[in-house]
Amino acid sequence: MSFHGSTKPRYNNSLAARRALIVRAACCLLLLGGAASAAFGQREPVHYFHSSRLPPGTIGPSQLLRGGPLAGYFQPVEIRGPEGLEVSAAIEGQFDSAQPAPAMFGMLIGPVYRLKITRIPRNEGHEVYPTIEVINRLYPPQGLENHFPIPIHFTLEELEIALSGRLVTRVIYLEDPQSALAVRDTLDEQRYFEVRSDEDPLKAADRLGRPVAILRMGSRTPEFDSQSQRFLYDCPPLVKLAKPAPLPALRSGVEEVQPPVPRLNRSRSP
């Protein structure tokens, strides 16, 4: 699978091919005037009902209205980041104990999950509280769901952008195999590209593949309300997942390679 950021991929059942291209809009979401209007006016007349600028929790629930095997499915999501980074998820009105990245969770399609990121390199003592909204699911081979999570990488650059007071919006998408780049990815790095401040990363991701998750991260600090739990988005159900055992070798469990069958010499003597 190949995942990308402004936008992400489909499965080819290869761990080495699991990449996460992130469509990243690391900016203050500036609204440009006439120049932006002219640029949009020259584009194809396609109507998009959704936008990454919609409030968190708007896009995911509308996806459930389409039906299909989405409701009630806990999509594995893997959180990665710089060495030493720790992740906490909001559970039952409070943040759970921190665990080192990479950490894996099962998240429902539709709700918004609030995370707490601590022990940020070069920024000890500072924290960020990003949200993750899963808007679609993956379809790996049955029984191998935890081997193919949606990868979400927190880069040090993006974390420091958020700490500086700016907003980072990343759309993770499953890239279209017909237009995928012939580049081998690694688990420790997620390829991404940045979109202009007047371009919607969700639309960019939709052009390149199938959007599956949206990461939003800024400098907002907790405003806990024990009654409404607005900051924590009501702590939707979450499953903490353990890292699965490595997949067997390609031919493990398959019959051994047999030596070539000797051929009979059918040539006739003169």
Asked if residues 202 and 170 have their Cβ atoms less than 8 Å apart, the reply is: no
DSSP 8-class letter at 144:
-
What is the pLDDT averaged over residues 227-246? 86
Q: Does residue 21 or residue 255 have the better pLDDT? A: 255
The band of 164, judged by pLDDT with boundaries at 50, 70 and 90, is very high
Q: Is 158 left (phi over 0), alpha (psi -120 to 50) or beta?
A: alpha
Instruction: Please report the pLDDT score of residue 18 as a whole number.
Output: 37
Residue 105 has pLDDT above 80, yes or no: yes
Tell me how far apart the alpha carbons of residues 103 and 235 are, in angstroms, rounded to a whole number.
18
* Mean pLDDT over the full length of the chain: 76
The band of 256, judged by pLDDT with boundaries at 50, 70 and 90, is low
Instruction: Please report the pLDDT score of residue 43 as a whole number.
Output: 42
Whole-number percent of the chain with pLDDT over 90:
39
Instruction: Please report the pLDDT score of residue 199 as a whole number.
Output: 80
Residue 40 has pLDDT above 70, yes or no: no
Residue whose token pair is 């918004």: 112
What is the pLDDT averaged over residues 108-120? 95
* pLDDT tens by residue, 173-227: 988 777 777 777 666 677 777 777 778 888 888 888 889 999 999 887 777 665 6
Q: Does residue 180 or residue 97 have the better pLDDT? A: 97
Mind giving me the DSSP string for 46-62?
A: ---S--TTSPTTSHHHH
The band of 3, judged by pLDDT with boundaries at 50, 70 and 90, is low
pTM of the predicted protein model: 0.72
Highest mean pLDDT out of 13-17, 50-54, 200-204: 200-204
Residue 25 has pLDDT above 70, yes or no: no
Residue 39 has pLDDT above 90, yes or no: no
* pLDDT tens by residue, 127-144: 999 999 999 999 999 999
Asked if residues 20 and 151 have their Cβ atoms less than 8 Å apart, the reply is: yes
Residue 114 has pLDDT above 90, yes or no: yes
Whole-number percent of the chain with pLDDT over 70:
67
